Amino acid sequence: MRRNSFFARTVVSKAILASLCLAVPAGGAADVLDRTTPAAPANKKTWHAPKHIKAGDDAEKYSLEVSFNEAGDVIVFWNQSDNNSGNMWKSDNDRRNMWINSYKAGRGWGTARSIQINDIYHSNVAIDGRGNAIVASSRSGKIWTDRYESGKDWQEAQVIKETSLFNGLFNSKNANSVSDLRIAMNKAGNVVVAWTLEGNIIAKYYMSGKSWGDIQFIATDAGGTDVIGVNVHPKLLKVAMDKKGNAIAVWGKDEDPTCTNLWSNRYEVGKGWQKAQIIKKNASPNHEIAVDEAGNALVVWQQRDNGHEDNIWSNRYVAGNGWQKAQRINNGAPGCAEPPEVAFDGAGNGLAVWSECQRDADRTNLWFNRYTADVGWQKAQRIETGAAMNHAYHPKIAFDRAGNALAVWSQCSSKPTGIVVNGCNIRASRYVLGSGWEKAQSITTDADNAEVPQIAIDAAGNALAIWLQTDDFRPNMFGRDISEYDIWAARYE
């Protein structure tokens, strides 16, 4: 059955809102850590039946995000268009509201609630090691933060910057227009919020127990010159923070119509932001970043090579040394890799996952590559093979404290065509340190369209998968079916 899908609208939304870091060559040295580490004891955890955590309000939900800590606290955040009257696009009567639900370790789910209403655009959520959380958003020409204190409730929203104050600093009539916004938070509660505005990237830093610092323009080179330029918008801003509070921002910049470079800047505690630098020329702004506890970083991205081949590349930031040389990490036939995800374990080892088409079959497989600290990237491999894979999209991955990982993804019966796609379900597989990937399994039941999953995992390996799902389609004003999506979750323990 052909149905309209959130899948395509998510891709479009990210493109519009964009509200989605030296290693050996691929095929090089073997993973020494995997060879020498004893296999983990038998795993007695299992996936439990899915449940609604937000449903039944006839509202369009999108921009689903999850933030979690090692204690097992989880914040689920999404935007919701209320009163959308069945239209695919926002009308003047729509309200773009921010909604949240939380999972508290040992207690379970709370009740979904709206924390801000009306005129919500770019937004992002983060949580610290004590379960405190912050949602950063742009609305009404201001940058806001909504703070949750563990054991209490959401506090009154705070304005940390009025974008109207930037009038006169830019040569554009649209000086209040924020085109992206990101937040990062570490276990101690230090926070960085960064956003793009009229050809620059602006950041504010919060030191736990103190107050917000001054704004900083971070897209500047060693001479203090803006490296982006007025009316040239940076693409897909990402930020991450290590346990000491040091932060890294990464973004793409179009140098000309055929060339996009990846840029980065780093915040060092006690010194502030450094100078922006290119970490890969001729790259693509489809990237993700992860930072380990020592302050090292991995950036992975989808890159178009030779004008038509989409491959996966990576660069590593070494604390105290800087960025290394970028390298391609998918070693299969080039040409059709989708944007990747990346995560670190507690020992500085990483996993990158991505979807990649199989040219000799109508199939999209899920691939991974493992980065081992002090050794580098290994040879890319499939997570699962066989006809059962169909078409795998939107992978997410997270590690527990022991170095095991869980990956979740949407698996669809056909490739999406425009805004139409056949039914999808959510599948999951566990990576076991020392032995590799376990057999994947479906974690949805009777799902018609279950898509864009997120994953949260605690130190002991207990996890939550959260996704958007619908079984209800109705015609909109153009006679096309649109979906009323609910928020679902499944527990792994």
Please give the residue that has the higher pLDDT: either 486 or 7: 486
Mean pLDDT highest for which of 33-47, 79-93, 212-226, 386-400? 386-400
| Burial category of 44 from C-beta neighbours within 10 Å (exposed 0-12, middle 13-18, buried 19 and up) | exposed
SS3 310: strand
DSSP 9: H
Assigned superfamily of 3-492: Prolyl oligopeptidase, N-terminal domain (2.130.10.120)
Tell me the pLDDT of the chain averaged across its residues: 80
What tokens were used for 114? 């709206």
For residue 11, name the pLDDT band (cuts at 50, 70, 90): very low
pLDDT for the residue 390? 78
Query: Mean pLDDT across the stretch 454-480?
Result: 77
CA dihedral 286, 181, 270, 268 (to 10 degrees): 0
Contacts of 70 (CB under 8 A, 6+ apart): 129, 187, 401, 458, 459
Cα 117 to the chain's mean position, in Å?
A: 24
> Which residue bears the tokens 């504010």?
204
pLDDT of residue 344 exceeding 80, the answer is yes
CA angle 297, 24, 393 (to 5 degrees): 65
142 three-state secondary structure: strand
- Domain ranges for the chain: 3-492
- Asked if 127 contacts 142 with a C-beta cutoff of 8 angstroms, the reply is no
Are 98 and 144 in contact by the 8 Å Cβ rule? The answer is no
> What's the token pair of residue 245?
């509070």
The pLDDT of residue 481 is above 70: no
> Rounded to an integer, what distance in angstroms lies between the CA atom of residue 403 and that of residue 391?
28
Check if the beta carbon of residue 235 is closer than 8 Å to that of residue 253: yes
Which class for 78: exposed (0-12), middle (13-18), buried (19 or more C-beta within 10 A)?
A: buried
Average pLDDT over residues 391-412: 95
The Cα 122–Cα 183 span in angstroms is 11
pLDDT band at 76 (very low <50, low <70, confident <90, very high): very high
- The residue-averaged pLDDT of 51-61 equals 73
Which segment, 141-145, 160-164, 444-448, 488-492, is predicted with the most confidence on average? 488-492
451 vs 404: which has the higher pLDDT? 404
Quick one: pLDDT at residue 387? 54
Q: Distance between CA atoms of 144 and 146, rounded to whole angstroms?
A: 7
> pLDDT value at position 277?
93
SS (H, E, C) 13-28: HHHHHCCCCCCECCCC
Q: Over 70: is that where the pLDDT of 230 sits?
A: no
**DSSP state at residue 334:** S
User: Does 6 have pLDDT greater than 80?
Assistant: no
pLDDT tens-digit map of 77-117:
988 876 544 443 444 445 678 889 999 988 999 999 888 76
Instruction: Give the whole-number percent of the chain exceeding pLDDT 90.
Output: 50
Q: Which residue has the higher pLDDT, 338 or 82?
A: 338
- Paired strand residues for 277: 264
Task: Give the single-character DSSP code of 390.
Answer: -
- Across 23-32, 56-65, 191-200, 363-372, which has the greatest mean pLDDT? 363-372
